[in-house]
């Protein structure tokens, strides 16, 4: 019980430290998600290119980044690029690493969303004089993105939790700060429980938002 009394005595300080790490965790999550959203859409569109070489490169990107563990990719970006003179601090390295990795997964989500749009939608666009580009931008993509929102949201929840991997490159997120607190206080059980509560506090609202998106998506499909 002595350990718990000590923990409650320093609890406010521990919360402040972990909240600082939580801010970095959110920055990594949002930054990585933004990179993945944009790059994933570009890759999904490139996979539909009429040029085989472009399609092959897009497919190769997806396969490579899905087959290599994200931790390995973070090591390559943070340590590997440093060996050739391109040194990144832990936070941008984590954002870039998660973004590049996530783009491979979101590209497949986008592709599935685009393919779920009935072929007749493209024909309707052509019938009113739209080009293929205009049809994709104004007819296909809005419907595809609506269908893709729930799985994208699920990916975002997963990314929030997976951001703890960034501790391996010393990114100052929650796990990094929790480890430092444990080294100072030797209260591993208490600190890890507090860290888990913070993750729950961040994940639950996002999970609730994803469920709402899923319900709205289903209503849109029925309509």
Q: Report whether 104 contacts 43 (CB < 8 A).
A: yes
- pLDDT for the residue 150: 86
- pLDDT for the residue 118: 84
Here the CATH number for the domain that contains residue 6 is: 1.10.3720.10
- pLDDT for the residue 60: 96
Any residues with CB less than 8 A from the CB of 52 and at least 6 apart, and which?
none
Integer Cα distance of 4 and 15 in angstroms: 15
Could you read off the pLDDT tens digit of each residue along the chain, which spans 223 residues?
667 888 888 899 999 999 999 999 999 999 999 999 999 999 999 998 889 999 999 999 999 999 999 999 999 999 998 888 888 999 999 999 999 999 999 999 999 999 888 888 777 777 787 878 888 888 888 888 888 888 998 999 999 999 999 999 988 899 999 999 999 988 999 999 999 999 999 999 888 888 887 777 666 555 4
Any residues with CB less than 8 A from the CB of 53 and at least 6 apart, and which?
none
- pLDDT for the residue 217: 66
- pLDDT for the residue 130: 82
- pLDDT for the residue 162: 92
Angle between helices 52-67 and 2-46 in degrees, nearest 10? 170
Q: Report whether 116 contacts 147 (CB < 8 A).
A: yes
Token pair recorded at residue 39 = 């790059």
Q: Report whether 203 contacts 160 (CB < 8 A).
A: yes
Domains held by the chain: number: 1
Q: Report whether 163 contacts 29 (CB < 8 A).
A: yes
169: containing domain: 2-222
Q: Report whether 210 contacts 157 (CB < 8 A).
A: yes
């Amino acid at each position: 019980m002595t350990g718990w009394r000590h923990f409650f005595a320093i609890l406010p300080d521990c919360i402040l430290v972990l909240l600082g790490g939580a801010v970095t965790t959110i920055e990594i999550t949002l930054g990585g998600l933004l990179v993945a959203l944009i790059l994933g859409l570009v890759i999904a569109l490139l996979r539909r290119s009429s040029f085989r070489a472009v399609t092959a490169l897009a497919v190769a990107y997806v396969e490579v980044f899905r087959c290599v563990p994200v931790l390995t990719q973070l090591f390559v970006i943070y340590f590997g690029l440093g060996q050739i003179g391109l040194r990144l601090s832990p936070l941008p390295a984590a954002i870039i690493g998660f973004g590049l990795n996530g783009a491979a997964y979101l590209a497949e989500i986008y592709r599935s969303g685009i393919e779920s749009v009935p072929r007749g939608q493209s024909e309707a666009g052509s019938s009113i004089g739209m080009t293929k580009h205009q049809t994709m931008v104004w007819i296909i993509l809005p419907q595809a993105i609506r269908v893709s929102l729930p799985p994208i949201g699920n990916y975002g929840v997963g990314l929030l939790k997976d951001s703890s991997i960034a501790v391996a490159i010393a990114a100052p997120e929650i796990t990094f700060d929790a480890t430092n607190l444990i080294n100072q206080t030797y209260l591993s059980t208490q600190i890890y429980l507090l860290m888990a509560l913070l993750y729950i506090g961040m994940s639950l609202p996002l999970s609730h938002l994803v469920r709402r998106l899923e319900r709205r998506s289903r209503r849109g499909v029925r309509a």
